[in-house]
Each structure stands twice: as C-alpha cells, then as structure tokens.
Amino acid sequence: MGKISNQQVIQSLTLKFGDRISVPNEPFGLLTFETSVDHISEVLRSLKEDKELKFNYLTDITGIHFPEQELSMGVIYHLHSLSNNVRVRIKVFLDIKAPHIPTATSLWEGANWMERETFDFFGIIFDGHPNLLRILNVDDMTVFPMRREHPLEDPNRVDKKDYFFGR
C-alpha cells in the first residue's frame, strides 16, 4: 500500500519497545497497538522522530469510555506518516479515578484543541497542557457528557411528556 508496509513498522516498534507495547493487530489494514501511560510520550516521540518511519502528522486524538473494563477511560491517537503513506493507531487506557496522561502538545501543536475536546467530553486530564479548559460545552458544566452514564437529553426538561415517548 505505501512505501513502508505495516510489517516493517511492527518490526521497528518491537525492536525499540519490545514489551512496553501490546501485540499489534490490523483491523482493516490500520496498524493498532496499545501502550501504557508511562510509555506513551516516548512512543509518540520516537514515532515522530524516527528517520525511517517519520510519523510526522497527528491525525486525531480522541477518547472512549468502556465502563465494564478495569481501566475504563481510553485515549486514542491516530498518527499518519505522509511520506510513507502509513497510518497507526495507539490506544492508552487509564483508570477513571485518576485519568492523567502526558500531553502531546510538545510534539505537535495541533494536539492542543484535540486534547481540550477530549477533556471536555471525558474528563481526561492532560498533564502539561498549556490551557486545559472546556472548549465546546458551556464553561460551568460540571459533568463530562460523553461518558456512558450521562444521558443524551437534557434531564431538566419539563415539557416533554414521557407518555408520548413510550416511557
């Protein structure tokens, strides 16, 4: 597909990091692996600065919430190497009681708002972020709306009659 195949990326990663990353798999051809909070900065930095891999483009940072898992909050990075035409997805899972993860803004300036959005929706705290405030929701909101327990509709509505909505 690209100038470097997923296999080469896997080899290079396992050489450098070995057991600090999980076994990579490739859903729909996109190389995916997991790592832990302590190693994520290192992994991202080496992916960006490696002379062969050159993952210099940060596509997206987002979050996810799996309440049944023990480490229920997840942060998902999508990186893209433009010159080699290869994508990679990195997942980091955090404990919901202390969801801290180091920021990626030192590597890519574009991570700034992506991390603010993830904080706004899930409550994940990015240590070292210059300006970690809510970005899309109202500033005085106390809950994190994308977590699974938060309802979709506004709970304070009085004019919506449950009888007509089958509840």
Partner 1 sequence: MTNHPVFTDNDPQKETITLNLGPTHPATHGVFQNVLEMDGERIVSGVSTIGYIHRAFEKIAEHRPFYQITPLTDRMNYCSSPINNMGWHMTVEKLLGIETPKRVDYLRVIVMELARISDHLICNGILGVDTGAFTGFLYLMEEREHIYEIYEEICGARLTTNIGRIGGFERDFNDIAFAKIKNFLIKFPPILKEFEVLFNRNRIFIERTSGVAPVDPETALNYSWSGPILRATGVDYDVRVNEPYSSYQDFDFEIPVGTSGDVYDRYIVRNEEMWQSLRIIEQALQKIEKEPKGIFHANVPEFYLPPKEEVYNNMEALIYHFKIVMGEIETPKTEVYHAVEGGNGELGFYLVNDGGRSPYRLHFRRPSFINYQMYAPMSAGMLLSDAIINMSSLNVIAGELDA
Partner 2 sequence: MSEVKIVEAPPGIEGSGFFATSMEKVVGLARSHSLWPLPFATSCCGIEFMATMGSHYDFARFGSERPSFSPRQADLLMVMGTIAKKMGPVLKQVYLQMAEPRWVIAVGACASSGGIFDTYSVMQGIDEIIPVDVYVPGCPPRPEAIIDGFNKIQELVKHESLRRRESQEYKELLGRYGIQ
Name the nearest CA neighbour of 106 among 61, 156, 158, 41: 41
Name the nearest CA neighbour of 55 among 27, 92, 91, 13: 13
Select from partner 1, partner 2, none the partner in contact with residue 117, using the beta carbon and a kind-dependent cut-off of 5 to 8 Å. partner 1
Interface residue with partner 2, options 157, 162, 163, 167 (CB under 8 A): 157
The footprint of partner 1 on this chain (CB under 8 A) covers a number of residues equal to 36
Distance of closest approach, residue 34 Cβ to partner 1, in angstroms: 12
Looking up tokens 């994190």 gives 144
Tell me whether strands 86-94 and 73-81 are parallel, antiparallel or unpaired. antiparallel
Distance of closest approach, residue 113 Cβ to partner 2, in angstroms: 16
Indicate the residue among 107 and 135 with the shorter CB distance to partner 2: 135
Name the nearest CA neighbour of 32 among 40, 41, 24: 24
Q: What would the x/- binding string for partner 2 be over residues 97 to 136, using CB under 8 A?
A: ----------------------------------------
